[in-house]
Copies of this chain bind each other. A is one copy, B any other.
Amino acid sequence: MAVVRVVLLAGGVGGAKLAEGLQQLLGERLTVVGNVGDDFELWGLTICPDLDTLMYTLAGAASAETGWGVAGDTFAALEMMARYGEEVWFRLGDRDLATHVLRTALLRQGWRLTEVTAHLAARLGARARLLPVTDAPVRTRVLTDEGELAFQEYFVRRRWQPAVRAIRFAGAEEARPTPEVCSALASAEAVVIAPSNPFVSVEPILAVGDVRARLRALEAPVVAVTPIVGGEAIKGPAAKMCRELGEEPSALAVARRYADFIDAFVLDARDAALAPAVEALGLRVVVADTMMFDPESRRRVARAALEAVGVEP
């Protein structure tokens, strides 16, 4: 069997599930490129929520209830922060805090985020390779009817309630994808776009330097898995954002946003009726049950994505 190398572009929780499914099929032949637009600083610590969710999930250490954070984590440090009068709307667990403390220390010692991420993920036992799309700071900013908010302010503190008017990725244009990301893309047999929020998980990856142009120019096929099923997001604000940004929330709308660089699209069985419209965009369509709730269903969706681009793991 040929060695198949696959690159997955992913945000947090939803993307991590597919990452874990693909890791089951591909092991170390999988490279996951994570979004860093969610990253922020809290108490001087550099926190990378999407990378961490991917890392914990790939290492089998993620909380099954929430999808983010470390399984069985406690919140003693956060309670202490509250005693000190600090705001504690970002739910940092104690084990999770260790990740941020160590990452920040290594970054201050001059390590690249790529190196820190590889070190932490390997120590925790992830088999797939995990890469931040860039080592440069990129910060998603959400322009809402309450003003422009940093991503975590919008997403966690305000629980994505303010209406979104526009989204920008500060620093993305100047940022460059890392050499590791460029070479992973160049040597990939297929690229998969996770069923992550297009607006705030996938597009901040595409916006980094020439990533979108690189995908467009790629000979290897690119497939996206729908994050919208029956007009609703599986999780999070993707459908709400669609509406607020003047689009109808549907898998078709997502396929349209990606049509310039993808070759195939995995549609959920409940949206099978959309297949002709997606095919009309010039895309190969695979219809599958895209719900991921356990290892078996994650593996199933991973298999459907690879099937859509003719890759046999």
Contacts and interface: CB of A to CB of B under 8 A. Distances in A.
Interface in A167-192: none
Contact of A95 (B70, B76, B95): B76
For the side of the interface on A, what is the size category? 20 to 34
A105 interface: yes
A68 B108 CA distance: 29
Interface string A36-56: 000000011100000000000
Q: Do most interface residues of chain A lie in helix, strand or loop, or is the interface mixed?
A: helix
Given A73-B76, A123-B83, A101 B94 contact: no
Contact of A43 (B85, B94, B102): B102
Contacts of A96: 80
A104 interface: yes
A124 interface: yes
Given A101-B97, A101-B101, A102-B43, A70 B80 contact: yes
Contacts of A84: 98-99, 102, 119-120, 123-124
A44 B104 CA distance: 8
Interface string A82-121: 0111100000011111110110110010000000000110
Interface string A135-162: 0000000000000000000000000000
A79 interface: yes
Interface of A: 43-45, 70, 73-74, 76-81, 83-86, 93-99, 101-102, 104-105, 108, 119-120, 123-124
